[in-house]
Amino acid sequence: MADRTPVIDRFLSGHGWADAARRPLAGDASFRRYVRLDRNGDRAMLMDAPPPQEDVRPFLRVARLLGRLGFSAPRILAADEAAGLLLLEDLGEETYTRVLAAGGDEAALYTLATDLLIDLHRRFEMPMAAGVPPYDDERLSNEAALLVDWYLPAVRGVPAAPGLREEYLALWRDTFAVARAAPGTLVLRDYHVDNLMLLGGREGVAACGLLDFQDAVTGPASYDLVSLLEDARRDVPPGLAGRMIARYLDAFPALDRDAFRASYAVMGAQRSAKIVGIFTRLDRRDGKPVYLKHIPRVWQWLEGDLRHPALTGLRAWFDRELPVGTRITPGAKGAP
């Protein structure tokens, strides 16, 4: 990748941050990187999202929408879309992950995050979503396919046969109508503790800061709740998850509870299948084996969701092609 320093220097100079101290933050699974800026006590965050691998426009679109709705997404201080650079409000360092690790009140944090989803799903209306792509069957299928395209070859040693892949995807397509029984809304997609902030001095759901929502889509309201409660990187106690699902359902008394729970199971299974594939791809293609350690947890979530009657066909496929004893963590690429 080309040296980004000159373009970053010009951007920061043009917006009065040339002399700010810069502290790079740990990266994620994308090409984006973040740099915390400190200018005599004033702080901001630089998002460096180099094109063509990254595109800042979806982030800008969703950040502005969330801001209009009253949620605590980072304010946009400056933007150079062509260069892939954003100057953002710094929401601080108190991620849910950090607060929980320090002994924070788990139930209170998850309640706040659930209440934010309730509020978002009450306030959001589909006409607000101009430019936000739909979570359509093609997108859902392509994501689910990552398991057979990356994980299956990694544990079997050979690519999946085309017929097997098509059978798998046909079974998924049969379930997507079940998922859509939940109301449509704005889906942030990466709604979990790594991307939620606890913000002091703010009241109500505004105390929950939002990060990493550039992949937002419109789709089933069940998705972000399952993203929160079936966290790929963290064990969520079943009792807590059950209480949060009940809290969400109680907020929408007209909602068909059985239909929502079926949608939750389908979206949870689809998400977990996708993540198993993504974590394998990050190792095999991108040389990032650190995510492999989470695969056993993701399999637990997937197995739980596959028990729902709406997923009987897919459960049979998994039991035949990847029976329980074969649901292993692939060895890191190049490992003996």
Report the C-alpha gap between 37 and 21 in whole angstroms: 6
The pTM of the whole model exceeds 0.85: yes
For 181-208, write each residue's pLDDT tens digit.
999 999 999 999 999 999 999 999 999 9
Report the C-alpha gap between 92 and 207 in whole angstroms: 12
Query: Does residue 175 carry a pLDDT above 80?
Result: yes
Report the C-alpha gap between 45 and 299 in whole angstroms: 35
In this structure, whether the domain defined by 96-326 belongs to CATH 3.90.1200.10 is answered with yes
Query: Does residue 319 carry a pLDDT above 80?
Result: yes
For 80, the enclosing helix (H) or strand (E) is: strand 76-80
Query: Does residue 336 carry a pLDDT above 80?
Result: no
Alpha helices in the chain (DSSP H): 5-14, 57-68, 96-101, 106-123, 137-144, 146, 152-156, 162-179, 222-229, 238-251, 257-284, 295-306, 312-321
Residue among 7, 15, 1, 77 at smallest CA distance from 44: 77
Report the C-alpha gap between 200 and 206 in whole angstroms: 10
Query: Do 96-326 and 5-89 fall under one CATH topology?
Result: no
Instruction: Tell me 147's DSSP state.
Output: I
Q: What is the pLDDT of residue 331?
A: 85
Report the C-alpha gap between 292 and 232 in whole angstroms: 11
Instruction: Tell me 74's DSSP state.
Output: P
Residues 317, 321, 325, CA angle at the centre, nearest 5°? 115
Report the C-alpha gap between 165 and 250 in whole angstroms: 39
Q: Which CATH superfamily is 5-89 part of? A: Phosphorylase Kinase; domain 1 (3.30.200.20)
Residue among 168, 106, 180 at smallest CA distance from 143: 168
Place of tokens 């373009």: 7
CA 160 to chain centre: 27
Mean pLDDT of 100-109: 98
Q: What is the pLDDT of residue 28?
A: 66
3-class secondary structure, 164: helix
Instruction: Assign 15 a pLDDT band (cuts: 50, 70, 90).
Output: very high
For the chain, the structural domain boundaries read 5-89, 96-326
CA dihedral for 276, 281, 286, 287, sign (positive or negative)? positive
Query: Does residue 166 carry a pLDDT above 70?
Result: yes
For 29-59, write each residue's pLDDT tens digit.
678 999 999 999 999 999 999 999 999 999 9
Query: Does residue 1 carry a pLDDT above 60?
Result: no
149 burial level (CB within 10 Å; 0-12, 13-18, 19+): middle
Instruction: Assign 3 a pLDDT band (cuts: 50, 70, 90).
Output: confident
Q: What is the pLDDT of residue 93?
A: 94
Residues 25, 117, 254, CA angle at the centre, nearest 5°? 165
Pull the structure tokens for residue 42.
């004033």
CA distance readout (Å), 28 to 31, 235, 302: 8, 20, 23
